[in-house]
Amino acid sequence: MTTYPLQDGMTLVLSVDDGEWQTVTFSSPGFADVTAATAGEIAKVLKKSGVGASVDADGLVVIQSTTIGEGSSLEVDTLRSTAALALGLGGAVRRATGTGPKAARVESEVGPFAMPRGERDFATFVDTWIDLKRRDGTIDELYHFWILGRDSKAAGPRWSIIRDVLHW
């Protein structure tokens, strides 16, 4: 079962179907243990706030618009949302639109790294650092260099005693 490391008072700022921005606050009374919130508990809090939410087959939170089709949309402002990273919603703004008979959906993602239990401050620091590096292009640059084998900077001539000191 997937759990989400929320803290009492964390918020999720979102807009459904291009409506006004609304803030959903996650508070302890809505959870057995807010620091290990289940997808079902999170979906229940979102539904109470009028936001469509469910749990997928993998036990992850799915946030969706209440309407279906081309006019449906869902946008999460992850910069103003203190719960976005804990819910696996990284990036500046997550936006989805409906297609055909489907509602707009935003799904949480499970992080690719393990963190020690009880170290919420450290996990938040690492999540924020990764998000910042994603936004400034560092992650893409490292991926292109280390995974794709592309050098991001053209290599100039190496330093040489003969050329740079003796000027031959």
Q: What's residue 41's pLDDT?
A: 93
DSSP string, 17-56: TT---EEEEE-GGG-S-GGGEEHHHHHHHHHHTT-EEEE-
Q: What's residue 92's pLDDT?
A: 52
If you search the block for the tokens 């639109």, which residue do you land on?
A: 97
Each residue's pLDDT tens digit, 28-84: 888 999 888 898 999 999 999 888 888 888 788 888 877 777 777 888 887 788 888
| Percentage of the residues of the chain whose pLDDT score is greater than 90 | 13
All residues at 6 or more sequence positions from 45 whose CB lies less than 8 Å from its CB, including other chains: 24, 26, 30, 31
Each residue's pLDDT tens digit, 132-166: 887 888 877 887 788 777 776 667 788 888 888 98
- Whole-angstrom distance, CA of residue 19 vs CA of residue 114: 37
Q: Does residue 2 carry a pLDDT above 90?
A: no
* 142: phi then psi, degrees, rounded to nearest 5: -65, -40
- Whole-angstrom distance, CA of residue 119 vs CA of residue 130: 17
Write down the H helix ranges in the chain. 39-48, 120-135, 138-142
27 and 19 in contact (C-beta within 8 Å)?
A: no
For range 1-21, the mean pLDDT:
86
All residues at 6 or more sequence positions from 34 whose CB lies less than 8 Å from its CB, including other chains: 6, 7, 8, 26, 27, 28
Name the residue among 99, 97, 94, 104 with its Cα closest to residue 14: 94
